[in-house]
Structure 1
Amino acid sequence: MRSKVLVPVLAALAVLTACGSDATPATSRPGTPDKVKVGVIPIVDVAPIYLGKAQGFFSKRNIDLTMEQAQGGAAIVPGVISGQYQFGFSNIVSLLVAGQQKVPIKVVANGVNSTGDPAKDFGQLIVKDPAIRTAKDLEGKTVATNTVKNIVDTSVKEIVRKAGGDPAKVNFVELAFPDMGAALDAGRVQAMFVVEPFLAPALAKGWRSLGAYADVDPKLCVAAYFTSTQLTAQNPDLVKRFTEAMQESLAYADGHADAVRQTVPTYTQIKADAAGAMTLPKWAATVDTASVGKMNQLLVTNGVLSAPVDTTKLLP
């Protein structure tokens, strides 16, 4: 069964192939900044790009940056291919699946990473029932994931596997992150893998964590920024400047937690008090290729990919 994250991507590719894509990168008159639009998701993970714009990291590289919010990476990928966005943000699994399908994209900068500490990570596997002591106990139980065949359920399966359980015996149901807590509280699911800002309130209720992104890999690359191979060919200088600005933005966000907490409510519906209680992710300046390789193999193990993706073509 084809992963649902690919359906809009492949549909867009079919249209572009049939019509002949004449989308070209946004260009400016000589002496004016390059206008760049980036497809993002209104979540904590993209705080660095907002901070980077505010700090002038893009403007000093002659980039006039605009962020446009989308519902998820599956919508952003075809937007980048068509030229609606020059760059986009998506989780690494969607990008790997797109890579296997020969979608013409290229990762240009890191996005967000696990903190490396399972007890203090921004995405964790949470249970309410005290009888569920380890992830192995989730065999025969139902776990809430935001989407199937993606980074959340892949992470849950690996956490179960490492606990000695059989991931094939775990049932998954799709729920939006904001709806997971109520479902767990009502017993409609027995566990949920949830990210901030929904993690902190769950832990505050006394619910327990059975694992986290860090259990999959301490440096797990959860998401990345990418562009089309068309843009890399037509305007490599712009790609270089965007990458450098993102690297500076990531480093700044990683070293300025207070600034992150202050900026998150400006582009999300997260309130200031919730932002203050969140566990923040790690924002590494470069892509951790080893962790992407591990995820690549896990997707093959779980049957999401038929064979490993050639990441040398996908990654920087």
Structure 2
Amino acid sequence: MKKAGFFALAAITALVLTGCTDSDAPTSGDSGDGDSAGSADLIPVTVGVIPIADTAPIYVGDDQGFFEEEGIDLTIETATGGAAIVPAVVSGDYEFGFSNQLSLMVAADQGLDIKMVSAAVATTGDTSKDMGAVVTKPDSGIASPADLAGKTVSSNSVGNINDTAVRSVVDEAGADSSTIDFVEVPFPDAIAAVENDQVDAAFVVEPFVTAATEAGLEVVTYAYADFDPKLDIAAYFALSSVDADLLEKFQSAMQKSLEFADSNPDVVREIMGTYTKTDPAVLAEITLPTYPTEFDRASSEKLAAAAVEYGVLKAEPDFDNLLP
């Protein structure tokens, strides 16, 4: 029996969350056809994700049967960010979760016994067209990263990889990033927040980067790529005490999923239409990220150093324990 959580992003700006982070969270819909033969032998596994382009491989892998092949009966639940997913994994509601790398470093910094178990998504490294960007109105007066100083900038959560990357890029441009006011706005609401002057600029990821430019907003910086061309943006993680056999099965299924997704962009775009309400024309134009199967430790160490500099981390993590 195969399960998949297909949740909607209404009109690209309103996220409808049916997954949640407490123990009575509803599971996603069963995409199988009843009690199929052998389903009793599958291990039920719930994974918390954000419904964006970054997580397409796990949906692809579920659809392709890679998790069933490894003996996993997969349920996908959604949340707005790693700040909600991390506690759900720690509490045991989810066996695995998806989060940006810096949120996981912060969790480890706070003493949570977690570890990254699979690579997930990385920047394309293209500073002229990447999958994550800061966008603003054409008449905002913000033409370069330095112009973000003193402005209000939104992200789906604060104190994580997005504002750290932006701060680094702004400081590299010779401005003072400490004067930026970062506020939390979910990705689906960010375009409207900019258009309505609730914020001066917004950090968004695909499909919202393309949706923003289609709506007439302009890109200020592709901050991930500008920060580091090999930046690992997010990872799948679990408690350090996760069952070793289950971990091996999950890692094997994720490797197949990531490899397939990276080699089949059309399949990625198609499946994104099943868990987002994204206009097909937008899906055809979005910039897909890279889906690596291994971590780039150097970029992670660079991110951690920046996070320490900006007070997001007290100390750089022990990557020998945090990475697989």
- How far off its partner does 1:39 sit? 1.5
**Paired residue secondary structure (2:128):** helix
Aligned position for 2:296 = 288
Q: Which amino acid aligns with 2:174?
A: G
1:295-314 paired onto structure 2 within 5 Å = 295-314=303-322
Aligned position for 1:123 = 132
Query: Is the deviation greater in 149-158 or in 33-42?
Result: 33-42
Counterpart CA distance in 2 for 1:305 and 1:288 is: 20
**Paired residue secondary structure (1:53):** helix
Which of the numbers 233, 254, 258 marks the counterpart of 1:250?
Answer: 258
Q: Which amino acid aligns with 2:160?
A: N
1:109-188 paired onto structure 2 within 5 Å = 109-128=118-137, 129=139, 131-188=141-198
Aligned position for 2:101 = 92
Query: Is the deviation greater in 198-207 or in 218-227?
Result: 198-207
Aligned length: 286
Q: Which amino acid aligns with 2:316?
A: P
Which of the numbers 263, 268, 275 marks the counterpart of 1:267?
Answer: 275
Q: Say if 2:140 and 2:200, in contact at 8 Å, map to a contact too.
A: no
- How far off its partner does 1:205 sit? 4.5
Counterpart CA distance in 2 for 1:48 and 1:35 is: 19
**Paired residue secondary structure (1:309):** coil
- How far off its partner does 1:30 sit? 12
Residues 160-203 of structure 1: CA deviation (Å, up to 9, x unaligned): 01211111122223222223223323334322212112211322
Q: Say if 2:151 and 2:180, in contact at 8 Å, map to a contact too.
A: yes
Which of the numbers 50, 67, 75 marks the counterpart of 2:59?
Answer: 50
Q: Say if 1:108 and 1:225, in contact at 8 Å, map to a contact too.
A: yes
Q: Say if 1:247 and 1:286, in contact at 8 Å, map to a contact too.
A: no
Query: Do the aligned partners of residues 273 and 93 (structure 1) sit closer, same or farther apart at CA in structure 2, a change above 3 Å counting?
Result: same
**Paired residue secondary structure (1:193):** strand
Query: Is the deviation greater in 129-138 or in 158-167?
Result: 129-138
TM-score, normalising length from structure 1? 0.84
- How far off its partner does 1:250 sit? 0.6
Q: Which amino acid aligns with 1:282?
A: T
Which of the numbers 232, 250, 266 marks the counterpart of 1:221?
Answer: 232
Query: Do the aligned partners of residues 52 and 163 (structure 1) sit closer, same or farther apart at CA in structure 2, a change above 3 Å counting?
Result: same
Q: Give the helix-richer structure, 1 or 2.
A: 1
Residues 55-83 of structure 1: CA deviation (Å, up to 9, x unaligned): 12222222222212233222222222232
Q: Which amino acid aligns with 1:227?
A: A
Query: Is the deviation greater in 93-102 or in 30-39?
Result: 30-39
Q: Which runs of 5+ in 2 are unaligned?
A: 1-21, 23-37
- How far off its partner does 1:85 sit? 1.5
Q: Say if 2:81 and 2:157, in contact at 8 Å, map to a contact too.
A: no
1:205-216 paired onto structure 2 within 5 Å = 205-212=215-222, 213-216=224-227
Counterpart CA distance in 1 for 2:78 and 2:86 is: 13
Identity %: 47
- How far off its partner does 1:31 sit? 8.2
Counterpart CA distance in 2 for 1:36 and 1:188 is: 39
Q: Say if 1:108 and 1:227, in contact at 8 Å, map to a contact too.
A: yes
Counterpart CA distance in 2 for 1:81 and 1:137 is: 39
Query: Is the deviation greater in 105-114 or in 270-279?
Result: 270-279
Which of the numbers 104, 108, 112 marks the counterpart of 1:103?
Answer: 112
Residues 109-134 of structure 1: CA deviation (Å, up to 9, x unaligned): 01111111021211111232374332
Q: Which runs of 5+ in 1 are unaligned?
A: 1-11, 13-28
**Paired residue secondary structure (1:120):** coil
Aligned position for 2:12 = none
Counterpart CA distance in 1 for 2:300 and 2:264 is: 26
Query: Is the deviation greater in 179-188 or in 45-54?
Result: 179-188
Which of the numbers 69, 76, 80 marks the counterpart of 1:67?
Answer: 76
Counterpart CA distance in 1 for 2:88 and 2:220 is: 36
- How far off its partner does 1:224 sit? 0.5
Is residue 245 of structure 2 the alignment partner of residue 237 of structure 1?
yes
Aligned position for 1:16 = none
Residues 249-296 of structure 1: CA deviation (Å, up to 9, x unaligned): 111111111000110121223343332221111111112211111111
Query: Do the aligned partners of residues 256 and 89 (structure 1) sit closer, same or farther apart at CA in structure 2, a change above 3 Å counting?
Result: same
Counterpart CA distance in 1 for 2:296 and 2:260 is: 18
Counterpart CA distance in 1 for 2:212 and 2:40 is: 51
Query: Do the aligned partners of residues 201 and 38 (structure 1) sit closer, same or farther apart at CA in structure 2, a change above 3 Å counting?
Result: closer
